Amino acid sequence: MRLKLSIPAQIKDMKEAGITFDIASEADARRYLEHSTYYFRIKAYAKNYEKYASTEKQGQYINLDFAYLMDLSEIDTILMKIILEMSYELEFFLKVKMLADFNKTDEDGYDIVQELFKMQPALNDSIEEKVKAPLCSDLIMKYKDRWAIWNIVEVLTLGQLTILYGLFYSRNSFSDSYVGLLLPVNMIRNAASHNNCLINRLRPPYSGYITPRYDLRNELSQRALISAKILEKRLTHPAIHDFASLLFLYSRMVPPTVRNQSYSRLKDLFYRRIPENKEYYSKNESLRACYDFVLKIVDFYIDN
């Protein structure tokens, strides 16, 4: 177990790990750790940097200044906000698509909800818990025990909506439902919602590996013209894969007039904010390669 560290001790700990304070001073770091972040969080971005394997510096980070950690943390925060905005818009238009397709079927809207409750025994309790929330209470009290597909969508989380969405399209024959990509979208939305770090481990080995979806991999290979070798290397990263999945679905489900604002923020992030301190990353090939790869994907979806 690690001991509790005061902020001066945290800075001492970083210095012993090879983190320098040449660009951001120790005074800058103290203020940042007091008012803008906390040690466990900021230190997580150091996983993007290699350590010396030998010499007297063995185990210390190579070419890592505290300013780099601050920059990565701030970029990550902006990215999370964009992901949340896109996810909320996508969630709404998933409902729009499903209910528009529902109106083309002979379903009554009630039977599918009963099947959903059988699949998810804890769902009813989960919904009833929300009766304590003022904005949901009237709706839940009114439709309790007689939910239909068109009103239950108002009280489901994205994860629960994903299950209903998959159930609906398994019962009905419609093309282009993209059900398989909803799980990774839900994963990255949840991560952003809980303020989990997204870009804290972009250097192999990753904390987990993803087998990319065929439709996503095929599109990026055939239409975005990204080589299969690069896709195999980069798209297995969980956060990169899930972000690409979000862009894939967002480009299909959300109308262009709604997409423009989020796309504008993405362009600002990738073309202005990230390169703002590009000299910080001149010696970090992993970070530069990830940026170049994701930029190609962003460009492809924004331009198409």
Q: Kindly state whether residues 167 and 186 are assigned to the same domain.
A: no
In tens, the pLDDT along 283-296 reads 999 999 999 999 99
- Could you say which of 129, 153, 171 is where a domain stops? 171
Number of independent structural domains in the chain: 2
Buried b or exposed e, range 10-32, using 16+ CB within 10 angstroms? bbeebeeebbebeebeeeebeeb
pLDDT of residue 206: 73
Q: What is the pLDDT of residues 43-53, one digit of tens each?
A: 999 999 999 99
* pLDDT (tens digit per residue) in 253-271: 999 999 999 999 999 999 9
How far apart CA 39 and CA 33 sit, in angstroms, is 7
Note whether 149 and 113 are within 8 A (CB): yes
Does residue 155 contact residue 136 with C-beta atoms inside 8 Å? Answer: yes
Q: Is the separation of the CB atoms in 82 and 266 below 8 Å?
A: yes
The C-alpha atoms of residue 151 and residue 154 are separated, in whole angstroms, by 6
Given a cut of 90, whether residue 136 has pLDDT beyond it is no
User: Tens digit of pLDDT for each residue in 99-118?
Assistant: 999 999 999 999 999 999 99
Nearest CA to 157 out of 176, 197, 129, 119 is that of 129
**171, 197, 222 — which closes off a domain?**
171
Q: How far apart are CA 242 and CA 169, in angstroms?
A: 22
83 and 113 in a single domain? The answer is no
Distance between CA atoms of 5 and 146, rounded to whole angstroms? Answer: 54
φ and ψ of 96, to 5 deg: -60, -45
Clarify whether residues 278 and 210 are in a common domain.
yes
Contact status, residue 95 vs residue 132, Cβ threshold 8 Å? no
| pLDDT score, position 81 | 97
* Same domain, yes or no: 207 and 297: yes
pTM: 0.93
Q: How confident is the model over 157-173, as a mean pLDDT?
A: 94
Q: Do residue 269 and residue 149 come from a single domain? A: no
pLDDT class for 301, splitting at 50, 70, 90?
Answer: very high
Nearest alpha carbon to residue 203 among 29, 5, 45, 93: 45
pLDDT per position as a tens digit, 142-152: 998 899 999 99
Looking at residue 175, its pLDDT comes to: 81
* Helix, strand, coil fractions of the chain, as percent rounded to 5: 70, 0, 30
Whether residues 165 and 207 share a domain: the answer is: no
Return the minimum-mean-pLDDT range out of 83-87, 131-135, 193-197, 241-245.
131-135
- Give domain status of residue 38, yes or no: no
Task: Pick the range with the lowest mean pLDDT from 15-24, 198-207, 223-232.
Answer: 198-207
101 within some domain: no
- Residue 128, pLDDT > 80, answer yes
> What is the reported pLDDT for 238?
92
Same domain, 203 and 117: no
Full domain range(s) for residue 218: 68-88+181-303
